[in-house]
Structure 1
Amino acid sequence: MKSIKWFLFLCLFPFLVQGQEKPLKQTICLIADIPLLLESDHGIISFSKTGILDISPGRIRISMAARTDAIEFEHLIQLAKPLAVMEQNSTAYTVQWNTKKYRDWTPVAGQHSSTLIDTSLGINDSLKLIWKNRSGKIVQKFTLKTKILRPAIIGFRINEYYDSIDRGHKIRVLKRKNGLPKGYQSLQSDSIQIQAGGIIELKIKSYPLLVDTLIQFRITSREDKTIPGWKSGSHLLILPELKADNNYTLELKYPNQSAVAKYHLIHQPFWHQLTWVRWTIGLSLLTTTILLTRWYYRRKWRREAAQRERLEEQLTTLQSQLNPHFIFNALSSIEGLVTIGQNKLANEYLTTFSMIMRDTLKNVDKMLISLEEDLQLMHQYLKVEQLRFGFEYEWELDPGIHPAEIEVPPMLAQPLIENAVKHGASAKGWINIEIAKKNADMLIRVTNPSSNIAIKPRTAGGYGWSLINQRLDHFRELNPDSPIEFEFSQDEKQATATLIFKNWFS
């Protein structure tokens, strides 16, 4: 009895002794008929009362536990009272590897602190040690079997925040508890739902003889398919780095083991990450953008329409101002004919003039009329003036121009013809009117003999010509892509006034 107490005293208060062989990662002191020291490189999992010791594949070293040496260990297992030293020395042992004899019967005497076996066990290997006394009676036996381990999550808890200081305390509490601590849920499948913003704690199954469960893990996400390296953890695994609205795959394994356990962690989204919320926000933004865009363009369109309406009113006003000017000139001509006694000619003039006035009043509110109608007005005006002055005129129309299909501002060319009559054709001269096509432009060119008076382009025609210049400016503002330009040239022989309708055929 004293020997047992002395042996336990040495085991429970370990210290390092110089010259002792370096232990492996885990050491177990087994007190039985024959006290033993078991060391493993990869973990001793469990020990049953039937004498079966489950271990991970790897290196295993079994030594006799010396009763006089101090021993450093992680676990102490007492199965029986040790034999007396004399009885122990009278025993012999043998080793069987996978049911085959590995070592013949070897006396225990003289091997009180020596290594009985130091080897590596692979997957599905077994190692059996048997002791017998001198009479052949089996006094002790146990079997080592390798077991493939796959880590298993037995419970989890979701916290609202992560406290790294509290982690050590949690590990100590979990080591003292066999079941799940308060607040943990049992895991029945390989999938875990995590509430948005939650921090998950995982309780991994630990084994009775292990000080801690050394776990290797790695996490891959749905968004990032990169496979990371393995990280080390324990039987309490806390994962604060998981982001909401993402799915993760958690892989677990033990060191130097190939068996991998996979779990799916589904981190639920925040309310603003929900699909229907995103669609609602997106549609709201799209609707707002459409409404703002519509409001902006409607406002711009109204502003442009108001400006266009103002310009059209001004242009109409200018056209209406041109009519009294034309009427005044025509009545002056009639008065002149009556004064000189040419009543018949004055009557013809008045008849033609009334036809011109009827057509002019009909188009007074129109911004554009067909070129065919405008040429007809110009022809009637020339007929009236021809009665008075007796000049000749001719028309040249480009074959590629169809007057009925083209629109022009009404009576825009009338001041040009009036100017030609006044300055060049009044003394029985001539007038040439040409309507030509040049690329995408249309030209109305009025040519007459040159008079002795030099004419300035911007003052030719007096008040009527001033009105036409204003009409061109307003038309240019309304139609910047298709403006109408004016050119005037004069030499000793003839004067030419040209209206250029830009991009009229584009």
Structure 2
Amino acid sequence: MRVKLKSIQDLIVPPLRDRAGQPAAWWLMCIVFLAAVSPAWAQTGNGNKFGNSFFFDIVVTNKRTMVKEPVYLPVSDTAVYRVFDRFKSHGNDGFLHTEPKSPVLLGVKLNPSLVKYFSASVQSISKEYQVFVISDSSDAVLVALGINRENAGDFRYHVVENDSIERIRWSPIPRLEKNYGAKQPYGFLGKYNAPGKRLMVEVINTKNYGIREGVIFDWRINFKPIVNQLTLAVPGGYFNVAYRDLNHGYATRFDKATGLPANLAFPVDSVLNMTFQFKKQETLVHSVYLVKNIAGKKDTAWLDFVDHYGYFQVNKDRFSEAGHYELVIQRQEKFPEWDNAQLLRMPFDVLEPVTRLTWHELAPYAAALLIVLIAAIAISRLYAKRKIEHAEQERNTVQLKLRSIRSQLNPHFMFNALSSIQNLMNKNELLEANRYLSKFAALTRTVLNTSEQEMISLEDELRIANDYLQMEQLRFGFRYTVNAAADLDTANIDIPAMLLQPFIENAVKHGVATLKKSGLVQVNAAREGRTLVLTVTDNGAGLNPGHQEPSGTGFGLKLSEQRIRLLNQVHSHRPAELNIRSLPSGTRITITLTNWI
């Protein structure tokens, strides 16, 4: 960070000579010494008033040591031409060489009564722009003595507010004027005032971008630092203290205004360092102080500056003893005023170390804990084993019930078919009876082959449905359709065997049997995502309330409803739902099998 002396009126304005008329080398050595040991003083001001002056940014070189020092040259606002005299008077002597920092030669005039008007410089690529803090909301005047009638057309300037809004776009120099005791016209860049804001005035030479200069005026009054993040490093890791589930319980309350912990406390040696990440303040320098109160003895120490990236780290050697501590961060000044409105405070406590037991002291407790742990594991495993056995018993019971229902459905299906054959024979329709019997024999073989299988493919289920409807069509003459959606892989989708058969029998016997050729039975299979939807629809008279057929033969439907309930116990992750709906012109049975695809 560049160091600048802010007020050297007693050093530069008068000729640098001692009483013997020799160059006052010791003055320059004082300047270099003060700049080296007290950069904050050089940047924030030493309490002197700005005065009736223009400040110009110059470079002084000690020819004996060839050490260059950037300084400010104050020149009376009634004789600004004297800045050029300074360059001439020091240009050829044997001790000092004085030159402007930039050919633009910007001059700044502020309120003569203003104090503490300097702040940190701001880097702009290869250039540094100086910053003036104007705490009383007064005006700032900016001139460019290096701009004259011959070169004014080569320069442009612009003004940017808060590093975001271009208040004046790149424009020619507003005007040339000859005020403040000037002997030749110079570039006047304006008088500015923006309370609470920052303005950057930048000047460039359109023919040579290397000739570029700027200045920032800062009218803000709140310089309280802002913390974006506080990180604690601990043995084996680190964490953001703002997250309670990560911060080891070191902090539970936080200041709403600053976000910092209000009750930070941790044992000695448990924290390796604390790293603060501040909101970057390009034009400000902040100092960090540590206030310690150990065993009733209070002490305050300056730690360091916050770096220009906005980071500051406090290592554990600063809080190595148990006690109460407080970090205080404020804008750097020569004489800290400790204005609470401008300070950031974070108290924390370092606790006495946690008492550590020896292995011999811990051994009895460890043994007892091990015994309890082993007992708990054994009880847990025994409980889990019994729970698994109980669940397996329940599953076996449900499976037995399902097989019982299947064993009742198969005879029920066959008795209905044999009843149909008997009816044909009673009517002396022997040819139809023979054809029906042939179809029935083929269908019976298929049903018997799957009688031991709980699950069959959707393809086989639909084939059984088709064969049955074809057989019954010989007897009653109705129409039917069996369809599966094109996006269904019927050969690789398994469903409970004979799931549709009772509903199809019901649709034929109680729905379309009396309608003859005008009867219609439709069996459909479709998918909705991973859900399989099966429907059986007829255009008969519909069901009576409670699904009871006129003849009271609702045995098949009742068994099917009971079977659906048992299937949901076995396949709880794939629920099945049965919906029986009486339509204005028939009945629709819908079976929804969720997650079966």
Higher CA-based Rg: 1
- TM-score in terms of structure 1 length: 0.44
TM-score by length of 2: 0.38
